Structure 1
């Protein structure tokens, strides 16, 4: 049981680090979309790229540790844990979101953004909603 506790602890640590970055990156997009200053754009491009590359390993470790936890519990547990299937689906959606952030960073780097700050404010809420649902699923286990 000790192994699972360590896996869970590091899973949560890396998840928190991943979400910190994935919450902040779209806020940088908002500032970038709303600024018309070339020097500000250059500064924000660097911040966007560095932050995305910084948090990507946290995403990978979060997923790998989640897989290790499932493996430790075993297949019968996995099949019975219906809440986990929903959580995994949400994590996959979050990985697509993360991948889309790569596309957005490239779009901003090429000075080709056409979306407004309002779009990025709404876009920023997606991981917040996912996190709320994932935490409820993981701790309440309603299914």
Structure 2
């Protein structure tokens, strides 16, 4: 009988230990869920909008380039098509404005990004790239305006 009580006590002790391990595991998992929720909030509120903003920067830059090429080509023709020139001029202005606005949007998202959030290294790289790209767009814009002014003045060879 003493042997049975010892086995019963051991089984009861193991059950208590398993219960405590289960409680500890549940506590740890609740902590991880909370941490994961915070990470997902950062992804949903900052990473996804920043990615979309950068994609729009790319799209607007390409569309602006296309508008410039179309405008340049129309001015380079023997008799420029006024409709094409007007449409390309409008598209160029629209996408230049959208590009400027999107740079501001991307900067605003980066500035609002939480300091201790994961991915800060990548964010620093993105910010550095924006710092390099934005002045280049201004330079490109100035050069494109010079070329278009030469085209309008009839200096096709120089342009």
The TM-score range, normalised by the shorter chain, is 0.5 to 0.7
Q: What RMSD in Å do the two structures reach over aligned CA positions?
A: 3.3
2:92 aligned residue: 52
- The TM-score normalised by the length of structure 2 is 0.53
Q: Where do residues 55-74 of structure 1 align in structure 2 (5 Å cutoff)?
A: 55-73=95-113
- The TM-score normalised by the length of structure 1 is 0.57
Runs (5+) with no aligned partner, structure 2? 1-41
CA deviations on 1:69-103 (whole Å, 9 max, x unpaired) are 3213367948x935642441222211332344455
2:124 aligned residue: 81
1:112 is aligned to 2:129? no
1:32 aligned residue: 74
CA contact (8 A) 1:10 1:65 kept: no
> 2:57 is matched with which residue: 8, 15, 18?
15
- Distance change in 2, residues 1:45/1:114 (3 Å): same
Distance in 1 separating the partners of 2:157 and 2:83: 19
1:37 Cα deviation from its structure 2 partner: 1.3
CA deviations on 1:6-40 (whole Å, 9 max, x unpaired) are 421431342133123222123214423431115x2
Runs (5+) with no aligned partner, structure 1? 120-143
- Distance change in 2, residues 1:56/1:83 (3 Å): closer
**After the TM superposition, which of the residue ranges 50-59 and 67-76 deviates more from structure 2?**
67-76
